[in-house]
Amino acid sequence: MTTETHPMPTPPSAQARTIAGRMRAELGPLVSLAVPLIGGLTTSTLPGLVDTYMLGGLGTTVLGAVSLTTSVLLIFYAGLYGCVGPVGILVGNAYGAGQPGAVAGVIRHGLVMALLAGLGSLALMTVGLLLLPSLDQPPEVLAVITPYWVAMSLALIPYALGLVFKQFYDAIDRPWLGFWLTLTAVLANIGANWVLIYGNLGFPALGLAGAGIGSLIGQLVGLTVMAAYYRFARSTAAYRTAARWSLQIFRDQFREGVPMGIQYVLEGGAVAVAGVMIGWLGTLELAAAQIVDSVTSLLYMLPLGMAGAVTIRVAQAAGAGAHGRLPSITYTALAVVTVWMVSFTALLLLAGEGIAALFVTEPELIAVAGTVFVTVGLMQVFDGVQSVSLGALRGILDNGWPTVVSLIGYWLIALPASYVIGVALETGAAGVWTGFALGLVFASVMLVVRIRRQFRRLAQPGTGSPV
């Protein structure tokens, strides 16, 4: 039996001496890695978009329940992604250094951490369900939300475990594999939705509850396929070497994962609180926010995918000791993301109501969603910049400063401004997101400043890692 190997991509030519030349040299490898990452992220958001589309005919109350659940789930999706994040970075370091034997231990310990984090998330979601009545949400939404909330909470466990394998495939430069395996989960989710929401193939029509069960089925299918490929494929044999359990390795991953998880939770938690504020404004605003979130989440996949590519490329370059390439990798990604987000901001400004009309027919709901599209569109550029900046800093395991920036930007600036502009001044969901944008501006500026400082430090002779 032969083992398929995947060598480290050839670094950009040393002849590329100008800034523009170095950026052009990094563009191809970045895009080659980012495209399948974007595809995988896009497929992972399709179930939410499909849920919104397939449940749209059931009324604003059902869409409001999806919106409220999704707003809270964002906290846990973000936290789990952060906790598992060190897997991709450590695998990328080992891959860049040409040490495939170190990968198996990273995966094994990462799975344990993912399981514990998933179980903890399920417990907290259960507590959150009990607290919902005290959050002053629309009573008609609370009357239908429980089955969907419970199913989506259970799906967090296979989601967390699947992230470990996805991070592994991405970090060894096999992102298309991660994409196709993720797609199987999405297809299973869509199929289960079709059966369970509407009652096809002899099953009862479960409506909102059916959508939640469909998501759980999709996550279980995705985890099974990803784990089976890792266990049995010849191409992953080099990464399946025997790995003993080590409390020290687990502690190291825990020490890196917790700050990343906290950072993601601060961001996701702020978005969730903003969603709760929108719930205070009524079912109509909540339903409009769900339509906007479903569409903008899809458009936001390029910045997220590029951020993931930057993390991997920076980790690989750092593992190979090529610190001089870090600025060109990062600034190339920032340029691509800025152009993308400006383009789609223009689209949302010009066609917001038309996009909303693809999901619902109520004129009042379309008008509110159109207004929210305008506001959210304007904050997309800054959101893209801060995502890529965070990706670069994660690649060098710089997590402390970004966590402080997230705390200040989201909780001390964005949320107070959201409350004042959106709730106190009664400008609606559009006002909530206007206030939120102020925090994003702060975060994007501070993170770019941090990148410049850390890259200068790493470029100095004898410098190992940032302090």
Q: What does the pLDDT read at residue 463? A: 52
One-character DSSP codes across 245-282: --HHHHHHHHHHHHHHHHHHHHHHHHHHHHHHHHHHT-
Of 8-17, 146-155, 415-424, the range with the lowest mean pLDDT is 8-17
Asked whether residue 220 carries a pLDDT value surpassing 90, the answer given is yes
- Is the confidence at residue 2, as pLDDT, over 50? no
Q: Which band of pLDDT confidence, cut at 50, 70 and 90, is reported for residue 16?
A: very low
Q: Quick one: tokens of 168?
A: 């592994």
Q: If you average pLDDT over every residue of the chain, what do you get?
A: 82
Most confident of the following: 45-59, 258-272, 280-294, 428-442: 428-442
pLDDT band at 314 (very low <50, low <70, confident <90, very high): confident
* Sign, CA torsion 31/37/40/41: negative
pTM over 0.75: no
Radius of gyration of the chain (CA): 22
Q: Which of 139-148, 161-170, 233-242, 442-451 has the lowest mean pLDDT?
A: 233-242
Who wins on pLDDT, 419 or 319? Answer: 419
Q: Is the pLDDT of residue 465 over 70?
A: no
Q: For residue 8, what pLDDT band results from cuts at 50, 70 and 90?
A: very low
Query: Is residue 14 over pLDDT 60?
Result: no
Mean pLDDT of 191-217: 90
Give the pLDDT band of residue 161 (cuts 50, 70, 90). very high
Please give the pLDDT value at position 154. Answer: 95
The pLDDT tens digits of the residues spanning 29-69 come to: 888 888 887 877 777 666 667 777 777 777 788 888 887 88
- The answer to which of 9-18, 275-284, 323-332 has the lowest mean pLDDT is 9-18
Dihedral sign for Cα 339, 444, 117, 97, please: positive
Whether residue 114 contacts residue 194, with contact meaning beta carbons closer than 8 Å, is answered with no
What's the confidence (pLDDT) of residue 47?
67
Distances (CA, A) of 87 to 112, 167, 237, 242, 256: 12, 6, 18, 17, 10
Quick one: pLDDT at residue 45?
A: 64
Among 185, 167, 149, smallest CA distance to 113 is for 167
pLDDT at 6: 46
Please say if the pLDDT value at position 290 is more than 60: yes
CA 284 – CA 302 distance, rounded (Å)? 29
pLDDT at 99: 73
| pLDDT, mean of residues 217-228 | 92
- Rounded mean pLDDT, 268-292: 84
Residues 274, 280, 286, 289: is their CA dihedral positive or negative? negative
Among the residue ranges 214-228, 265-279, 398-412, 413-427, the one predicted with the least confidence is: 265-279
pLDDT band at 223 (very low <50, low <70, confident <90, very high): very high
pLDDT at 151 over 60: yes
- Tens digit of pLDDT for each residue in 385-415? 998 998 888 888 787 788 889 889 999 999 9
- Given a contact cutoff of 8 angstroms between Cβ atoms, the answer to whether 71 and 63 are in contact is no
Taking alpha carbons only, the member of 103, 106, 403, 464 closest to residue 254 is 106
Are the C-beta atoms of residues 211 and 75 closer than 8 Å to each other? no
For residues 228 and 222, is the Cβ–Cβ distance under 8 A? no
Q: Has residue 10 got a pLDDT over 50? A: no
